[in-house]
Amino acid sequence: MRSTPPSPHRRDGSPVHVHARRSLRVSADSASRLLRCGQSDRCRDCGNRIEWYHRINEQPVRLHPDELPAEKVPSTCHWHVSRGVAHPAGDGSAWCRLPHALLCPAREALPAAPELAGLRRALAVNTRRLIDRGAFVPSSAQPNVETSPTTTCRPARPVVQLLYIRYLANRPVDEIQCVAQTRRRRRCTSPLLTPQSPAGVWTLVSTTAVRGQLPLHGEVMAVYALTHLHYADQLRWRAQRCPEHAATPTAPDVTVAEWEPFDPLLHHEHIRSRLPTITRRPGPADRSRRAPQP
Ligand SMILES: [Zn+2]
Ligand SMILES: [Zn+2]
């Protein structure tokens, strides 16, 4: 005879169904390492909800969180999601997804999509409601340079150069946070720039434009250059992982990397013509060096 553990029951004798907690895993053949759960975010320009999706060989895209009837959306605007990856085409079904950029009320309305005007207006009303409630501050109203006790002056959104490409970071260099998931299923809180890892160098460069555009005449800008780092370290920054999670490639990403390809015309407001005066936060090694001897 074999004893079995008593199954849980309510007072009336009916069984209690205990749902086993399932852990999310990234399948080995997945094109995306991004966990699909919790990829909601808000547009930094209009405050409306978005969802992040990876694309093949492209920057991640922000999709409108709801599916729309495909017949009400111009076919050139159809997107669909397959195996966690977004594709810029319909999948033949009666429903489609849509990039938020086509609806964002903070951007110019695209003349090619008048059918979407009603939805765009609804999002604009929601933006106004969020601003009035104090629940959202448009990025255009936020300061571009911030000061703190440890840094006398630093760009809030610095331009970072790595792997020969310039990116606009979405926060100060020493606050760029790892995107990997920890064993406790939370986003890792470690920064990319640790006292033990090689740092970049602030340097003034000409505002060379991308995609074959001409440089802006006579302008220089401050860039946080990582190009002298080892290739693996630059890949780590590009993947937005702390040194520990760079060594654990099986850990999934909780969110997409936050780099935005830098365009001097689009991001002109973030160009700084002077080098920031930065005091790097002392690490444990620095602190122990400075500690009084017994
Ligand atoms: Zn928006
Ligand atoms: Zn990490």
DSSP single-letter state for residue 191: B
Q: Does some domain include residue 18?
A: no
Q: What percent of the chain has pLDDT over 70?
A: 72
More confident: 187 or 283: 187
Please, which residues have CB within 8 angstroms of residue 110's CB and are 6 or more apart in sequence?
A: 102
Evaluate if residue 61 carries a pLDDT over 50.
Answer: yes
Angle at 146 between CA 136 and CA 268, to 5 degrees: 80
Q: Is 10 exposed, middle or buried (0-12, 13-18, 19+ CB in 10 A)?
A: exposed
Same domain, 110 and 204: no
Look at residue 128 in the predicted model and tell me its pLDDT: 93
Q: Does some domain include residue 10?
A: no
In this predicted model, what pLDDT tens digit does every residue of 216-240 receive, in sequence order?
556 788 999 999 999 999 999 999 9
Scan for tokens 């409108």, then name that residue: 64
Same domain, 153 and 261: yes
**Which ligand has the nearest atom to the CA of 181?**
2
More confident: 283 or 291: 283
In this predicted model, what pLDDT tens digit does every residue of 107-144 receive, in sequence order?
887 766 777 888 999 999 999 999 999 888 887 666 55
Look at residue 227 in the predicted model and tell me its pLDDT: 92
Same domain, 132 and 147: no
Q: Can you give the pTM of this predicted structure?
A: 0.58
Domain count, the chain: 2
For residue 218, the enclosing domain spans 143-286
Look at residue 53 in the predicted model and tell me its pLDDT: 87
Look at residue 246 in the predicted model and tell me its pLDDT: 92
Q: How far apart are CA 161 and CA 207, in angstroms?
A: 12
Evaluate if residue 98 carries a pLDDT over 80.
Answer: yes
Tell me, in angstroms, the distance from the centre of ligand 1 to residue 47's CA. Answer: 6
Q: What percent of the chain has pLDDT over 90?
A: 36
Q: Does some domain include residue 122?
A: yes
**Which ligand has the nearest atom to the CA of 106?**
1
Tell me, in angstroms, the distance from the centre of ligand 2 to residue 188's CA. Answer: 5
The tokens of 203 are what? 């340097």
**Which ligand has the nearest atom to the CA of 50?**
1
Q: Does some domain include residue 15?
A: no
